[in-house]
Amino acid sequence: MLEVERLTRSFGGVRAVSDVTFAVGEGEVIGVMGPNGSGKTTLFNLITGALAPDAGSIRLEGRDITGWAPHRVCAAGIARTFQLVRPFPGLTALDNVLVGRLYGRARETRGAAEAEAARLLSLVGLEGKAGRRASELTLMDRKRLELARALATAPRLLLLDELMAGLNPAETEAAIALIRRLQGEGVTLLMVEHIVWALMELSQRLVVLSAGEKVAEGPPAAVAADPTVIDVYLGSAAGSARRA
C-alpha cells in the first residue's frame, strides 16, 4: 500500500531522515520506534505532506505522492492524528467529526455525513458524548475524538502519532483496546509510540530509527533481540519492552 524509498530530509545540514526505506501492506499495523530526535515525527510529516523531502519517494497504492500538499495527501487516502490534540473547542464532538467528513465531499448529504460521524463516535467510544463541546472532554476523550476526526476522511492508511502520550495506565489500556478495535475493522495503521511494550504488543512489524537512519526492521521479537536496537534505543532497560 505505502512504499517509502530512500527518503531524506535535512535541516541546516543535519539529516533528520536519512535514506529511509520501508513499506506498509494493506491491513498491516506497523510501529515506528526510536529515541527522541531519531526522525519519527519528521518521517510522519514527510509522508503526510507537511514537509517535502530533499530526496527519495513516497508511493501510495502505486501512485507517486512525493511532495504533495497535505490536503492532496489526505484526499489520496492518508490521514493522521497528532500527539497534541487540537479539536475545535467550541464545537460539539459530532460537529468536530463532521468537519472532517464534509471536507471535500460535496456529493454527500449532511444526513449521510451525520450518520457516519455518529458511527465513528460510537467506534471510538464516544457514542454518549456526541453533543458535548470538545472543551468539556477529558484528555482520553479528546484523543478518541482526534481519532474519529481522522477516520472521518475515510483513510486507506492512518498514521497514529503518540496516541498514548499523557495517558494514565487505565487510559493506556483503553487506547490499546481502541487500536485493536481498529485492527478488527481492517484499518491499515502506521504508529509512532514511546510506550515500547504497547508498540511491541500491537505491531506486526517494527521500523527502528536512530539519528534519522533506519537501523532495524522486522517482527517485534526479532527487533527486541537485535543488538543494534538494544544499543541505540532499549539499552539496559530492554526487558521493559516486554509487558510484565
Predicted pLDDT of residue 105: 64
pLDDT band of 237, cuts 50, 70, 90: very low
In the numeric block, which cell numbers belong to residue 202? 500491537
pLDDT of 96 over the 50 cut:
yes
Q: What is the pLDDT of residue 236?
A: 40
pLDDT, residue 232, reads: 79
- Mean pLDDT value across residues 46-60: 98
Residue 233: predicted pLDDT: 63
Residue 35 to residues 41, 192, 220, Cα–Cα distance (Å): 11, 11, 16
Where are the chain's structural domains?
2-77+155-241, 88-154
Rounded to 10 degrees, the C-alpha dihedral 35/161/78/59 comes to 0
Please tell me the CATH code under which domain 2-77+155-241 is placed.
3.40.50.300
pLDDT at 106: 60
CB distance 2 to 157 below 8 Å:
yes
121: its cell numbers: 463516535
Would the pTM count as exceeding 0.85?
yes
- What pLDDT shows up at residue 156? 93
